Amino acid sequence: MTNRTGVWVDLVGQTEAVAELSAAASAAANGTGGMTHAWLFTGPPGSGRSVVARSFAAALQCTEGEGCGECSGCHTAIAGTHADVHIVEPEGLSIPVAQMRSLVQLAARRPSAGHWQVVIISDADRLTEGAANALLKAVEEPPDRTVFLLCAPSDHPDDVSVTIRSRCRVINLRTPPAEAIAEVLTNRDGIDPETASWAGSVCGGHIGRARRLAKDPEVRERRESVLRIPGSLRRPADVFACVDQLVGAAESEASSMSAARDDAEKAALRTAMGAGGSGKGTAAAERSAKSAERDLEKRQKSRATRAQRDSLDLALVDLAGFYRDVLATKATGAHVTLNHPDRARDSAALAGQLSAAGALRRIEAILDCREAIELNVKPRIAVEAMLTTLQRG
């Protein structure tokens, strides 16, 4: 793995992208070239799209150079606390037009603490049509000291509109190799080499997930329970047990992730609205507080739904990867790296039972399930249909 320093130290396997962004940050700092005011970072899950965006934002705000990683500009930009770095992350299923209009207005101001106003949109593929139109107007005529950094799985029109993409400089990221991920886990996180190597080989190129797999026994058990499903679907009745397992695990994980944050947000809101006060105007304040709390609960519910879908989608990706291993095993003479090398015996056993067409049908069923859930089909219904296909073929 190439050694990196400064703000680029957390990027794994992105040598070409780092070189291009470093040159751009240097040109911006030295005034030696025109600055591109809109960038689009694309790449598969785990490639580090938002990490790259934050690192580039830090390089642009660096007070000592082009991303020293030591100054306050670098530290606050990476941490998301810089006054002139605004990070847009969908708390619900999408990024609404009101949120984008507010950010566009904020980005139009001159920088107050740094060199640039930087807007990072972590999931540009979740912009609503209205939000995308609001962003387009800003990208078409950007203020002099404003930079928009968009992150999306790809530059396909389904992810980012053609009009927005055409005004962006596109940086394509690649999936980091397992060896590079293992090296980072060992050298930076202190994880033993054997565990790091295993986590790097089964994380699908997602360094964040590799870290969680290496450190959290619950995450490892959830993955194991998902990968046991193909061998558990012996009878039609097994479908319902696996539905409960998949959907229930996603709901439980989303609930555990949201509970503490939800309670803290409600407590902060009550305090800000003067809960427990007395005297003139208390009744009106209480009514306003209740209305604000209902709005907060609505946002929290949408966020929990998104978290549940993301958790379930990760399980579906693992399942699809397993059947892809089955298909690869059936391909005589094929030298393909398995998604789940630690389950090679299980995928080989299933490869002896299924035809190539049967494996493909199961992969298609999983992909159809993912699409159905994104189209707001109830997860339990979509998962039940998928598992029925997995069981029957």
- Do 253 and 333 sit in the same domain of this protein? yes
- Do 17 and 163 sit in the same domain of this protein? yes
- Do 297 and 243 sit in the same domain of this protein? yes
Q: Is the pLDDT of residue 139 over 70?
A: yes
The predicted pLDDT at position 2 comes to: 41
**What share of residues in the chain are helix, strand, coil (percent, to 5)?**
60, 5, 30
- Do 137 and 210 sit in the same domain of this protein? no
Mean pLDDT of 283-289: 61
- Do 187 and 127 sit in the same domain of this protein? no
Highest-confidence range of 82-96, 226-240, 323-337, by mean pLDDT? 226-240
* Assigned domain for 221 exists: no
Mean pLDDT of 164-179: 92
Mean pLDDT of 326-354: 87
Domain CATH for 382: 1.20.272
Region of residue 333 (left: phi > 0; alpha: psi -120 to 50; beta: else):
left
Closest Cα partner for 374 from 162, 188, 123, 198?
A: 123
- Do 155 and 182 sit in the same domain of this protein? no
**Tens-place pLDDT, residues 179-224:** 989 998 998 889 999 999 999 999 988 888 999 999 999 999 999 9
Total number of residues shown for the chain = 393
Q: Are 99 and 92 in contact (CB under 8 A)?
A: no
Amino acid letter, residue 224: E
pLDDT band at 274 (very low <50, low <70, confident <90, very high): low
Q: 351 is in which domain, residue-wise? A: 237-274+287-392
* Assigned domain for 122 exists: yes
Q: Which helix (H) or strand (E) holds 283?
A: helix 282-330
Question: What CA–CA distance (Å, rounded) separates 276 from 293?
Answer: 15
Q: Is the pLDDT of residue 113 over 90?
A: no
Closest Cα partner for 380 from 257, 276, 240?
A: 240
The better pLDDT of the pair 64, 190 is held by 190
Question: What CA–CA distance (Å, rounded) separates 379 from 331?
Answer: 33
* Assigned domain for 224 exists: no
Q: Is 174 helix (H, G, I), strand (E, B) or coil?
A: coil
Q: Is 171 helix (H, G, I), strand (E, B) or coil?
A: strand
The predicted pLDDT at position 233 comes to: 93
The predicted pLDDT at position 1 comes to: 39
The better pLDDT of the pair 273, 253 is held by 253
Cα angle vertex 175, ends 194, 172, to 5°? 155
The better pLDDT of the pair 252, 386 is held by 386
Mean pLDDT of 43-54: 88
Work out how many domains the chain is built from and give that number. 3
- Do 207 and 341 sit in the same domain of this protein? no
Burial of 192 (0-12, 13-18, 19+ CB in 10 A): exposed
Tokens representing 156 are 């396909």
pTM as predicted: 0.77
Q: Is the pLDDT of residue 172 over 90?
A: yes
Task: Measure Cα distances from 376 to 93, 209, 300, 305 in Å.
Answer: 10, 26, 18, 10
Domain CATH for 25: 3.40.50.300
Q: Is 96 helix (H, G, I), strand (E, B) or coil?
A: coil
* Assigned domain for 31 exists: yes
Tokens representing 61 are 């705000």
**Contacts (Cβ under 8 Å, ≥6 apart) of 187:** none
* Assigned domain for 255 exists: yes
Which residues on neighbouring strands pair with residue 118, listed in sequence order?
85, 147
Helices (H), 141-236: 162-165, 178-189, 193-202, 207-215, 217-227, 229-232
The better pLDDT of the pair 84, 270 is held by 84
- Do 296 and 264 sit in the same domain of this protein? yes
Question: What CA–CA distance (Å, rounded) separates 374 from 277?
Answer: 44
Q: Is the pLDDT of residue 115 over 60?
A: yes
Question: What CA–CA distance (Å, rounded) separates 48 from 381?
Answer: 32
* Assigned domain for 101 exists: yes
- Do 41 and 56 sit in the same domain of this protein? yes
The predicted pLDDT at position 62 comes to: 92
* Assigned domain for 279 exists: no
Say which residue the tokens 């998104």 belong to.
306
φ, ψ at 95 (rounded to 5°): -100, 115
- Do 181 and 324 sit in the same domain of this protein? no
